[in-house]
Amino acid sequence: MGQKMMREQEMIELYYFEPPNANSGKAFLTLLEKNVDFVRREVQFLEFEQHSPEYLKVNPKGQVPTLIHNNRVITESTPMGEYIDEAFPGPSLIPADPLARWRMRCWSHYLDIDFGPALSMIAWSRFIGPMMRAHHPDKVQAFIDSVPTPERKIAWQTAIRGTFTDDQLSESARRLERGARKVETALTGRPWLAGASYSLADINLLNFFGSMPTFLPQVVNATVSPRTMAWLQKMAERPAVKRMRAESKPAPWSR
């Protein structure tokens, strides 16, 4: 009874971009899979709220997602997923088998350092950068000035001003195609990305890979990647995924 009452008093908040995909979606879906009740704190991406003074008090790096659990601030979406899995009851999303657990962490690391940045660069070039440039130049410059770290400031300047080179964009496209083949191969002979059980690897992949059939249809389709398409369908049928999508607003670039 005491433990139940303590859990009922827990305060759980998630700061995230809407719609919840990429890093935001990883945390959002993990909470739903664990059936955790949490307060939604949407950060308005196109209004630059991630670098507002109010949000920087929550996360000084100006990044999302940020999880607040009983006044503890948890950042960095990949370890955040493991924190959520271990901090709350419900089916485990971390495999018990050491090899599967290693695969889960390798996939999550790969998405963070390779596939995710490649996808982000192309998405910024096609959609986000032009939308940002629609703001008044003074507002855009004020936003760039508010970025709290030098390396992130450079990244934002490049993205907003659309100064990616053709070579950079070509390399990102190559990495996405390589990633699509990597996923198809990984799903050969096992039902989930890390092995026999659904895990954080599947959650993390969906939030970067879910749009690939429309984003890069020539390399993710029923003919060249049937296992991947079957996995995407299986993911779409999960109650937590249905709930996340039902609660989400359309992406601004798809309206």
Among 67, 156, 147, CA closest to 120: 156
Q: Tokens 């996340």 correspond to what residue?
A: 244
Q: Tokens 């299986």 correspond to what residue?
A: 234
215-222: average pLDDT: 92
Query: In the prediction, which pLDDT does 238 show?
Result: 98
- In this predicted structure, the answer to whether residue 75 has a pLDDT above a threshold of 60 is yes
Query: In the prediction, which pLDDT does 6 show?
Result: 38
User: In terms of C-beta density within 10 A (0-12 exposed, 13-18 middle, 19 or more buried), how is residue 179 classed?
Assistant: buried
What digits encode the pLDDT tens for the residues 42-67?
999 878 899 899 999 999 999 999 99
> Which two three-digit tokens encode residue 36?
């955790």
Question: In 3-state terms, what secondary structure has residue 187?
Answer: coil
Residues 6+ apart with CB under 8 A from 212: 176, 180, 219, 220
Residue pair 193/179 in contact by the 8 Å Cβ criterion: no
Among 55, 46, 1, CA closest to 143: 46
Which of 154-168, 173-187, 210-224 is predicted least confidently?
A: 154-168
What digits encode the pLDDT tens for the residues 19-44?
998 999 999 999 999 999 999 999 99
What digits encode the pLDDT tens for the residues 141-179?
887 888 887 877 887 788 788 888 999 999 999 999 999
Among 20, 19, 48, CA closest to 132: 48
- In this predicted structure, the answer to whether residue 9 has a pLDDT above a threshold of 70 is no
Query: In the prediction, which pLDDT does 2 show?
Result: 32
Assign domain 2-87 to its CATH architecture.
3-Layer(aba) Sandwich (3.40)
Element containing residue 68 per DSSP (H, E): strand 66-69
Q: Tokens 């709220």 correspond to what residue?
A: 49
Beta bridge partners, 15, equal: 41, 66
